[in-house]
């Protein structure tokens, strides 16, 4: 995506003519690299460029590489020597102009006036874990409201997962109006995971900036690491209509709140050859039982309904429902990043997992899974 505004491009073309056309080709070809003392990156830092401590390399159209100083109109190419220094027929060369275009790109990205949504996250560790926990489908629908961001993934209209990032988690959250769009979650997670080793290192500062202009525009992303910026854009689409999964309070018959390690240990040992998992909840023994039927036979696992790892156990009546194990597995993955999990079922057997995830700063995020039960065709109406 060309972030430089069309009217600016036209003005630059009127001023520089053919030199600008060649500079634009260098800019769009991503031939500009910013060189720092310890590493090389493909984008400049968002800082005061007059105090920048870096050099800039431009790979020319001929293949030659030119090293430039920031904010200094000088290049050692033949065109600059002949046409700028000697006969003064040009103000600058295509290599310097390409660098200016790249710098303008970053400045334009940070101009909030054109965007419906501008957000900044200072700690990506929890956010990456949240996104990975719901990444069982390629695409996700993103909702931006005054309460923050919600990303929802749905599978075959029978299971749905959402990650909630509250507004107080963001360092910056500027929303002009509610937005909704669909993005490729696989690509977003892959992009963020490129910085995973640094995200886990407290000595390294990795922040995420999001920019969304509205329908038909991509989601622009800047990842800033110790003053160095990597930018990318994700194509957005109009989302499909999602089912309204929710549990009415009056229909909830069972609610269990427990520490995640208890449920994680149990679910990780399930017989993977079983197609279904049966969940029994009862106010009387066996209270809380999970069953599978696979190649190893029928297996029953009884969980305690009280104890240090169980915070709350409310059961109004005995219920037994079956669910596809393939639908439960993604929900198991979310346990690794949560502190507590709430398990609820309603009169129709709809199963809800709600995970509480704490950030390093003490904020709370949530992951929510809804899983529809498998209906026995032999059961009567």
Number of domains in the chain: 3
pLDDT in tens, 199-245: 565 545 678 889 999 998 999 888 877 656 677 889 999 998 888 88
Q: What is the pLDDT of residues 113-152, one digit of tens each?
A: 578 999 988 878 888 889 999 999 999 999 999 999 999 9
Same domain, residue pair 294 and 208? no
Are 220 and 179 members of one domain?
A: yes
Q: Kindly report the average pLDDT of the chain as a whole number.
A: 83
Same domain, 185 and 265: no
Helices (H), the chain: 6-16, 18-28, 78-79, 94-109, 124-133, 185-193, 196-199, 260-267, 325-333
Q: Based on the domain organization, do 74 and 30 belong to the same domain?
A: yes
Is 47 within the bounds of a domain? no
pLDDT for res 231 = 76
Q: Which two tokens stand for residue 354?
A: 């709600």
Q: Would you say residue 327 lies in a domain?
A: yes
Residue pair 174/215 in contact (Cβ under 8 Å)? The answer is no
103/133 same-domain check: no
Same domain membership, residue 60 and residue 79: yes
pLDDT of residue 10: 75
Look at residue 42 and tell me if it is in a domain.
no
Co-location of 264 and 310 in the same domain: yes
Residues 106 and 121 in one domain: no
> Is pLDDT above 50 for 60?
yes
Count the alpha carbons within 13 Å of 372 in the hemisphere toward its beta carbon.
13
Say which range, 104-118, 169-183, 277-291, has the weakest mean pLDDT: 104-118
Does residue 244 form part of some domain? no
Q: Any idea what the Cα angle at residue 247 is, between residues 242 and 248, rounded to 5°?
A: 120
Looking at residue 123, what is its pLDDT? 76
Is 322 a domain residue? yes
Cα separation, 369 vs 92, in Å, equals: 58
Name the more confident of 355 and 12. 355
Domain carrying residue 215: 117-144+167-237
Which of 237, 261, 282 is at the close of a domain? 237
CA distances (Å), 295 to each of 103, 273, 302, in order?
A: 62, 6, 20
Domain match, 174 and 266 both: no
Q: What is the CATH number of the domain that holds 131?
A: 3.70.10.10
Q: Are 346 and 330 members of one domain?
A: yes
What is the predicted pLDDT for the residue at 2? Answer: 41
161 lies in some domain: no
Percent of the chain with pLDDT over 70: 85
Residue 242 falls inside a structural domain:
no
Determine the pLDDT at residue 49.
41
Tell me the C-alpha distance between 280 and 287, whole Å: 7
Same domain, 122 and 101: no
- Shared domain check, 223 and 137: yes
């Amino acid at each position: 995506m060309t972030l430089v505004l069309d009217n600016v491009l036209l003005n630059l073309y009127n001023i520089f003519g053919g030199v600008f056309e060649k500079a634009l080709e260098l800019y769009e070809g991503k031939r500009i690299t910013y060189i720092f003392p310890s590493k090389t990156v493909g984008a400049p830092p968002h800082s005061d460029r007059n105090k920048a401590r870096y050099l800039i390399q431009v790979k020319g159209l001929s293949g030659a590489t030119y090293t430039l100083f920031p904010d200094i109109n000088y290049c050692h190419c033949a065109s600059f020597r002949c046409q700028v220094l000697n006969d003064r027929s040009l103000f600058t060369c295509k290599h310097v102009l390409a660098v200016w275009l790249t710098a303008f790109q970053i400045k334009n990205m940070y101009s909030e006036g054109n965007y419906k949504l501008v957000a900044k996250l200072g700690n990506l560790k929890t956010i990456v874990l949240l996104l990975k926990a719901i990444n069982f489908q390629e695409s996700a629908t993103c909702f931006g409201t005054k309460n923050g961001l919600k990303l929802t993934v749905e599978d075959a209209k029978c299971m749905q997962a959402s990650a909630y990032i509250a507004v107080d988690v963001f360092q910056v959250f500027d929303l002009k109006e509610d937005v909704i769009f669909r993005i490729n979650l696989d690509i977003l997670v892959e992009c963020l995971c490129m910085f995973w080793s640094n995200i886990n290192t407290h000595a390294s500062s990795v922040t995420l900036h999001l920019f969304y202009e509205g329908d038909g525009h991509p989601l622009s992303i800047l990842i800033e690491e110790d003053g160095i910026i990597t930018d990318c854009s994700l194509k957005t689409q109009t989302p499909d209509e999602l089912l309204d999964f929710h549990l009415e309070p009056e229909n909830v018959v069972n609610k269990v709140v427990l520490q995640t390690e208890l449920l994680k240990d149990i679910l990780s040992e399930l017989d993977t050859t079983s197609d279904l998992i049966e969940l029994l909840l009862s106010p009387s023994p066996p209270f809380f039982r999970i069953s599978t039927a696979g190649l190893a036979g029928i297996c029953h696992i009884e969980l305690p309904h009280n104890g240090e790892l169980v915070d709350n156990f409310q059961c109004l009546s005995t219920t037994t429902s079956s669910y596809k194990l393939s639908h439960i597995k993604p929900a198991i993955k979310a346990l690794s990043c949560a502190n507590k999990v709430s398990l609820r079922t309603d009169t129709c057997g709809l199963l809800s997992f709600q995970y509480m995830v704490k950030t390093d700063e003490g904020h709370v995020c949530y992951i929510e899974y809804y899983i529809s039960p498998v209906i026995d065709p032999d059961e009567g109406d």
